[in-house]
Chain A
């Protein structure tokens, strides 16, 4: 039972829970306590240290800003205004808070306020749907378009949009890079003739890709009223991130073990059979390494691309908050940063798990 649990825990990448499980079964107490110290207590301590440094740092930044304001009031309006400013800042009134790097507690507060916001918007949306349900039926009968909720998206909605964009881009990358990589990998002539394209386009920045895609998509979708910002952003994400998979697939396919190729020859496999039964399976581990890199690159460039393409999502959320300059904007940006980081980490974990499935190199 506990062995199964440990296996499961290890498989989903939560291996650090293993000593706790073992300890609860009373196995090797001393060893497991050291393991807990190493794998759980030490990371927790480092998180605490991180929060402490953050708190101190943002306090220091806050003080600099506050002092500057007080001094400015003193210079421009005299002692009385300076005292008033000092009192005002100390009281925590919103109108005179300096806009600076937020503290951990502010970020936590913003996080909850974003969730609350999401609940409000969700309720609003539900009410709207209920309200328009009858009307939409009638509109449908009359052959008109149904009414949709056009209110502002909540933070959680934007996470959803970003994930949607990243998966669309990732799928696009798979569908372009893997087949192309296999074809290029199989033929030495193709490899040497196409290499320059890969080498030149690989380092191109996401911003440039976005502009290139924009130029093309803008012309193509001229007459239609499709939401082109989503199309532009997911295509750019796909094009930016596919190179790792392409290069890895080419490498995997072109460096299949000679012994394995000999087997294919001796078994007299046809060209199609050879690709599907021998070449692809043996290069799967490398292809998956590429896909893992692709997904993390896709998530990374997504934020920048959404920011520029004005397509809804975490990127535009960050940008809007920055432009907004409200009192809690900065802490909302930090919340978005953590959410982006954690989702990126989870995506990588998922890919790692899938990679473990297809890899035959390990026992």
Chain B
């Protein structure tokens, strides 16, 4: 039995004629300690899928099991890093993390929580900004706070919903390495949702494309057998990397093409020619 299991998940918004099936027949098995990436176009239902896995949404049908138990609600065992940071804007970096810690370790001593919060802020290199509010931080720094918050709660699995989607390429690269480092340290199970194939290949053990919705479903999986730690600069010349990248690209492009032909409308153009002026 897998660590996280999604069996025949369907999610439909609306009812009757307005029903919009966003996800259909999703099957996903993640083993303990694995790093899985799901790539897909924007608007393909990635966030819906994440919210079902972390318990914020309920699937219309199908079964989702975490360590063998059905998922009915959010749980602190599954830490979530949201795309739009989702920090509490009226609290400082430290307070944002200590709120989470107070909930996770209600019986622990104040000192323990304080040290833990500081340690995780240190891990994401934000010690200098510990008393700043989210508004005073850059996008990358905010996402670091969100990462620190999720990790400080000591989840058994981290779910990341396009965590780096809104960041510039340089910050993105740095944070990818930071996340990988942290993941490497205690090998938590991780699920990364992304729209960036390179990011997926660089970070994950396994990469699964999501066929775009409506009726989004998971495509064939691609195993990435590149040894860790991976080197971003060398990766570009790695044959395995190129091969996987091309395969996934081809697959996604194919779907994209299918979608275009399926949706294409032939426009009847009037049969006229430009006039010639003398």
Q: Which of B80, B82, B103, B135 is packed against the most chain A CB atoms within 10 Å?
A: B103
User: Are the CB atoms of A269 and B103 closer together than 8 Å?
Assistant: yes
User: Are the CB atoms of B90 and A281 closer together than 8 Å?
Assistant: yes
User: Are the CB atoms of B103 and A363 closer together than 8 Å?
Assistant: no
Question: Contacts of A245 on B, CB cut-off 8 Å?
Answer: none
Partner pick for A266 among B74, B84, B135, CB 8 A cutoff:
B74
A266–B54 Cα distance when bound, in Å, is 8
A267–B56 Cα distance when bound, in Å, is 12
Residue B225 CB within 8 A of the other chain: no
Interface size class of A (residues with CB under 8 A): 10 to 19
Residue A278 CB within 8 A of the other chain: yes
A132–B16 Cα distance when bound, in Å, is 85
Residue A282 CB within 8 A of the other chain: yes
User: Are the CB atoms of B99 and A267 closer together than 8 Å?
Assistant: yes
Listed by A's residue number, 14 A-B pairs whose Cβ atoms lie within 8 Å are A259-B82, A260-B88, A263-B87, A266-B80, A267-B76, A267-B100, A268-B75, A273-B103, A277-B88, A281-B91, A282-B90, A360-B89, A360-B90, A363-B136
A267–B74 Cα distance when bound, in Å, is 8
Whole-angstrom distance between the Cβ of B126 and the nearest chain A Cβ: 18
Please provide the 3 A-B residue pairs with the shortest distance between their CB atoms, ordered closest to farther.
A360-B90, A259-B86, A281-B90
Question: Contacts of A278 on B, CB cut-off 8 Å?
Answer: 88
- Chain B residues packing against A (C-beta within 8 Å): 54-56, 74-76, 79-80, 82, 84, 86-91, 99-100, 103-104, 133, 135-136, 153
Known A267-B99, A267-B100, A269-B103; contact A260-B74, beta-carbon cutoff 8 A: no
Known: A265-B56, A267-B100, A267-B103. 16 other contacts (CB 8 A): A259-B86, A260-B86, A260-B88, A262-B56, A263-B82, A266-B54, A267-B99, A267-B153, A268-B74, A268-B75, A268-B103, A278-B88, A281-B91, A282-B88, A282-B90, A361-B89
B-contacting residues, A209-246, CB 8 Å? none
By beta carbon, the residue of chain B nearest A273 is B103
User: Are the CB atoms of A263 and B74 closer together than 8 Å?
Assistant: no
A278–B87 Cα distance when bound, in Å, is 11
Whole-angstrom distance between the Cβ of B163 and the nearest chain A Cβ: 14
A262–B85 Cα distance when bound, in Å, is 11
User: Are the CB atoms of A263 and B56 closer together than 8 Å?
Assistant: no
User: Are the CB atoms of B84 and A259 closer together than 8 Å?
Assistant: yes
Question: Contacts of A273 on B, CB cut-off 8 Å?
Answer: 103
Question: Contacts of A265 on B, CB cut-off 8 Å?
Answer: 55-56, 74
User: Are the CB atoms of B88 and A281 closer together than 8 Å?
Assistant: yes
Q: Which of A260, A266, A360 is packed against the most chain B CB atoms within 10 Å?
A: A266
Known A262-B56, A263-B88, A265-B56; contact A360-B135, beta-carbon cutoff 8 A: yes
User: Are the CB atoms of B82 and A262 closer together than 8 Å?
Assistant: yes
By beta carbon, the residue of chain B nearest A361 is B89
Whole-angstrom distance between the Cβ of A260 and the nearest chain B Cβ: 7
Whole-angstrom distance between the Cβ of B103 and the nearest chain A Cβ: 5
B-contacting residues, A254-296, CB 8 Å? 259-260, 262-263, 265-269, 273, 277-278, 281-282, 284
Question: Contacts of B84 on A, CB cut-off 8 Å?
Answer: 259
Whole-angstrom distance between the Cβ of A45 and the nearest chain B Cβ: 39
B-contacting residues, A173-198, CB 8 Å? none
A263–B90 Cα distance when bound, in Å, is 14
A360–B95 Cα distance when bound, in Å, is 14
Question: Contacts of A363 on B, CB cut-off 8 Å?
Answer: 135-136
A266–B103 Cα distance when bound, in Å, is 10
A281–B99 Cα distance when bound, in Å, is 13
Question: Contacts of B90 on A, CB cut-off 8 Å?
Answer: 281-282, 284, 360
A267–B87 Cα distance when bound, in Å, is 12
Question: Contacts of B76 on A, CB cut-off 8 Å?
Answer: 267-268
Question: Contacts of B91 on A, CB cut-off 8 Å?
Answer: 281
Q: Which of B76, B90, B136 is packed against the most chain A CB atoms within 10 Å?
A: B90
